[in-house]
Structure 1
Amino acid sequence: MRGVKRKRGTNCNLLEQGLEKFYDACVAKELRAVSYDMMITKAQKISEELISNSLVESEDLPGTDTAWKSFVQRFLAKRAIKSKKLHGEAAVADIAAAEKFLTNEWPDIFASVDNDDSRVWNMDETGLFWRALPDRTLSRSDKRLAGGKTQKDRITFAVAVSMAGEKLFLHGMGNSKNPRAVAAAKSTPADVLGGRWNSNPKAWMNSEVFGLDISRKLRQRNKKIVLLVDNCPGHKADAVESKLDFVRVVFLPKNTTSIIQPCDAGIIQAFKSGYRRLMLRKVI
Structure 2
Amino acid sequence: MAPKKAAEAGKRKKEMIQLEDKKEIIRKHEGGMRLTDLAKEYGRRASTIGTILKMKKKITGRDAAKGVTRVSKQRPPVLEAVEKLLLLWIEQKQRAGGSVTKAIICEKAKALHADLLKQLPGTSADAESFKDSRGWFERFKTRSGIHSVVRHGEAASSDVAAAEEFATEFLEVIVSEGYVPQQVFNCNETRLFWKRMPKRTFITEEETSLPGHKPTKDRLTFLFCANASGDLKIKPLLFYHSENSRAFKKHKVNKEQLSILWQYNSKAWVTRLLFVKWVNVVFGPAVKKYLVDNNLPLKAMLLMDNVPDHPPGLEEDLLEDFNFIKVMFLPPNTTPLLQPMDQQVISNFKKLYTRELFRRCFEMIDCSSLTLHEFWRDHFDIVSCLQIITIA
TM-score norm. by structure 2 comes to 0.46
Query: Does structure 1 residue 148 correspond to structure 2 residue 148?
Result: no
Q: Relative to structure 1, is the Cα distance of residues 265 and 138 closer, same or farther in structure 2, using a 3 angstrom cutoff?
A: closer
SS state at 1:134 partner: coil
Residue of structure 1 aligned with 2:343, choices 265, 270, 277: 265
Query: What letter is aligned with 1:98?
Result: A
Q: Deviations over 1:1-23 (max 9, x none)?
A: xxxxxxxxxxxxxxxxxxxxxxx
Q: Among residues 226, 234, 248, which one is paired with 1:168 in the alignment? A: 234
Q: CA deviation at 1:183?
A: 3.2
Alignment of 1:23-42 (within 5 A): none
- Label 1:147 to 1:181 Cα distance change in 2 as closer, same or farther (>3 A): farther
Give 1:110's aligned residue: 174
Q: How many residues align?
A: 197
Residue 120 (structure 1) aligned with residue 195 (structure 2): no
Q: How far apart are residue 150 of structure 1 and its match?
A: 0.4
Q: Does 1:283 align with 2:347?
A: no
Contact 1:174 1:203 in 2 (8 A): yes
Are residues 1:234 and 2:299 paired? no
Deviation at 1:176, TM superposition (A): 0.3
Alpha carbons of 1:280 and 1:109: their partners in 2 closer, same or farther (altered >3 Å)?
A: same
Report the AA paired with residue 146 of structure 1: P
The root-mean-square deviation of aligned C-alpha atoms, in Å, is 2.6
Gaps of 5+ in 2: 1-147, 289-297, 363-392
Whole-angstrom distance in 1 between the partners of 2:149 and 2:210: 22
Deviations along 1:68-100, one digit per CA (max 9) or x if unpaired, are xxxxxxxxxxxxxxx999xx74x6110100111
The partner residue of 1:199 within 253, 259, 264 is 264
| 2:182 partner letter | S
Alpha-carbon separation, structure 2, partners of 1:95 and 1:143: 38
1:260, distance to aligned residue in structure 2 (A): 0.9
Distance 1:147 1:189 in 2: 37
Q: Distance in 2 between matches of 1:225 and 1:203?
A: 29
Contact 2:149 2:203 in 1 (8 A): no
Cα separation, partners in 2 of 1:146 and 1:183, compared to 1, 3 Å: farther
Does 2:261 align with 1:212? Answer: no
Offset of residue 263 of structure 1: 0.6
Q: What is the CA distance between 1:156 and its match in structure 2?
A: 0.1
Q: Can you list the C-alpha shifts for 1:193-238, whole angstroms capped at 9, x where unaligned?
A: x021100112111122111222223324332111011111010143
- Alignment CA distance shift 1:144-1:259 (3 Å): closer
**1:10-46 deviations in Å (ceiling 9; x for gaps):** xxxxxxxxxxxxxxxxxxxxxxxxxxxxxxxxxxxxx
Aligned residue runs from structure 1 range 51-200, under 5 A: 89=155, 92-103=157-168, 105-111=169-175, 113-139=177-203, 141=206, 145-166=210-231, 167-189=233-255, 191-192=257-258, 194-200=259-265
One-letter amino acid of the structure 1 residue matched with residue 199 of structure 2 = D
Contact 1:171 1:198 in 2 (8 A): yes
How many angstroms does 1:261 deviate by?
1.0
Change (3 A) 1:112 1:207: farther
Q: Hey, what's the Cα distance between the residues in 2 that align with 1:142 and 1:230?
A: 43
Mean CA deviation greater in 130-139 or 245-254: 130-139
Q: Match of 2:194, as an amino acid?
A: W
Q: Which has the larger radius of gyration?
A: 1
Identity %: 34
1:274 alignment counterpart: 352
Q: Secondary structure at the match of 1:168?
A: coil
> Secondary structure at the residue paired with 1:160?
strand
Aligned AA (1:183): K
Unpaired stretches in structure 1, ≥5 consecutive residues: 1-82
Deviation of 1:181 (Å): 3.2
Query: 1:169: how far off?
Result: 3.5
Structure 2 distance, partners of 1:259, 1:142, is 38
Instruction: Determine helix, strand or coil for the equivalent of 1:172.
Output: strand
Quick check: 1:130–1:153 contact (8 Å CA) kept in 2? yes
- Separation in structure 1 between the aligned mates of residue 336 and residue 149 of structure 2, nearest angstrom: 19
Output the CA distance in 1 between the equivalents of 2:273 and 2:308: 12
Structure 1 residue 113, shift from structure 2 partner: 4.8
Which AA in structure 2 matches 1:248? K
Whose helix proportion is higher, 1 or 2? 2
* Aligned AA (2:331): P
Tell me if the contact between 2:149 and 2:201 (Cα under 8 Å) persists in the aligned partners. no
Distance in 2 between residues matched to 1:110 and 1:250, nearest whole Å: 11
| Residues 210, 240 of structure 1: 8 Å contact kept | no
Query: What letter is aligned with 2:349?
Result: F
Q: 1:217 to 1:172 in 2, by over 3 A?
A: same
